[in-house]
Amino acid sequence: MPTVLLTLPPLAEQAERLIEAGAHEIGGVTAAQLRAGAQAYAGRGLLVMHPSRAHVSRLASLIQRDGKRGFVVADMCDADDFAPIEPVALPAGRVYVVVDLDRGDHLAGWSPDEALPAILAAGRTPLTLGEGIHWLITRRDTGPPRRKPRSQAVRLPLCHDAGVPTHVALLRGVNNLGGKRVAMAELREVVTSLGHADVMTYIQSGNVLFTPPEGGGVSGGADAGALAAELEQAIAAVIGVRARAVVLSRQELARCVRDNPYPGQTDPRLLHAVFLPEVPGPSLAAWLADAERQVRAKGSRDQARVRGRAVYLHTPDGYPRSELRRVLAKAGGPTSARVAGTARNWATVNRLLELCGPRPEWHGATGSAAT
């Protein structure tokens, strides 16, 4: 496994940087105790305060980049409850040292599900969230390592960076039960080979984020179909899999979240968005209304609405058992082979939008959505 060891200041210098930033006060540790912890270990490593004392939600504000402070996004209010994975056993003391750090450059662009087995197989363990924050506070340069052009790993939602993707491609019918198999690492390589930047994948269901090349004449909206067609052809040629793709711009995805007709549904497993390759004609709304009447006659409470290129499927009694979900896959339905829509649950929709950066502010009588 290629290794790029992190270059860190001496432990004594790290202690002073943490003290200067006020981190010891957050961690309930005196300056003397922090300095003593640094002096207790003769080698090199990363000085860390125990997460039971130094809560990551507060430490995040000490990270700085380009004069801006870090933060924990609103939907990660449970960040302080994150626990280390099974192989990681934290020392019990107030302060400890992590040794033999590897930056993991060779894993850039990998999803967590892909990277973790490789890390464990090499006899190593990933940094905890709190350890990563300590590293960012104490390192000599103030930002994360520069990524290779046209490739990036999924970033932690603590510091926001301007180089975020502008588009999302959703593949239909890959890596599910009985579906076509596409490795996310291969998918990233294909998308990068097309000249796109900021390429990353999210989970295994065929979600890839990217930024088209400037001046390429593709900025979303009417050109999303051209992006999708190009991607479908490249996947077929390089990976040998024929899969339909739906491409959305950041603005379209934000509009989908803004226009959600079921805002009262708080369980993201019970709301799905079916994204369509193109804006449907007026007949689809009538088709959905008829389908809803059919399942309601059987006692179903499922509902569906179409807005723009998204069909919202609300399944209050559960998605797997949904009768309307099965009807939508029949001939002429949004998820049929002919229409080629692809569904994502509401948690995935929101996460993809987060990975595309801050939501745009919307003005006018239709409402507003902002960070």
pLDDT digits (tens, 9 = 90+) for 345-371: 999 999 999 888 654 444 333 332 332
Q: Is residue 191 part of a domain?
A: yes
pLDDT digits (tens, 9 = 90+) for 154-173: 333 332 233 578 999 999 98
pLDDT digits (tens, 9 = 90+) for 127-148: 888 888 898 888 755 443 443 3
Q: Is residue 212 part of a domain?
A: yes
**pLDDT, mean over the chain:** 81
Considering the domain architecture, whether residues 70 and 31 belong to the same structural domain is answered as yes
Q: Is residue 158 part of a domain?
A: no
Q: Is residue 311 part of a domain?
A: yes
Q: Is residue 339 part of a domain?
A: yes
Considering the domain architecture, whether residues 29 and 129 belong to the same structural domain is answered as yes
Instruction: Note the Cα 76 to chain centre separation in Å.
Output: 13
Q: Which CATH number belongs to the domain containing residue 223 in this structure? A: 3.30.70.1280
The residue among 249, 270, 294 that closes a domain is 249
Q: Is residue 274 part of a domain?
A: yes
Q: How confident is the model at residue 226 (pLDDT cuts 50, 70, 90)?
A: very high
Strand-pairing partners, residue 137, are none
Domain count, the chain: 3
Q: Which CATH number belongs to the domain containing residue 335 in this structure? A: 3.30.70
The pTM of this model reads: 0.56
The residue among 202, 226, 249 that closes a domain is 249
Considering the domain architecture, whether residues 90 and 196 belong to the same structural domain is answered as no
More confident of the two residues 280 and 363: 280
Considering the domain architecture, whether residues 129 and 18 belong to the same structural domain is answered as yes
pLDDT digits (tens, 9 = 90+) for 53-110: 888 878 888 887 766 666 655 444 566 777 777 777 788 788 888 888 877 777 777 7
Considering the domain architecture, whether residues 192 and 217 belong to the same structural domain is answered as yes
Considering the domain architecture, whether residues 266 and 241 belong to the same structural domain is answered as no
Considering the domain architecture, whether residues 17 and 122 belong to the same structural domain is answered as yes
Residue 329's domain comprises 254-355
How far are the Cα atoms of 59, 240, 304, 315 from residue 22, in angstroms, in the given order? 9, 54, 52, 48
Read off the pLDDT of each residue in 195-200 and give the average, rounded to a whole number: 91
Considering the domain architecture, whether residues 132 and 173 belong to the same structural domain is answered as no
Considering the domain architecture, whether residues 185 and 262 belong to the same structural domain is answered as no
pLDDT digits (tens, 9 = 90+) for 238-262: 999 999 999 999 999 999 999 999 9
Q: Is residue 114 part of a domain?
A: yes
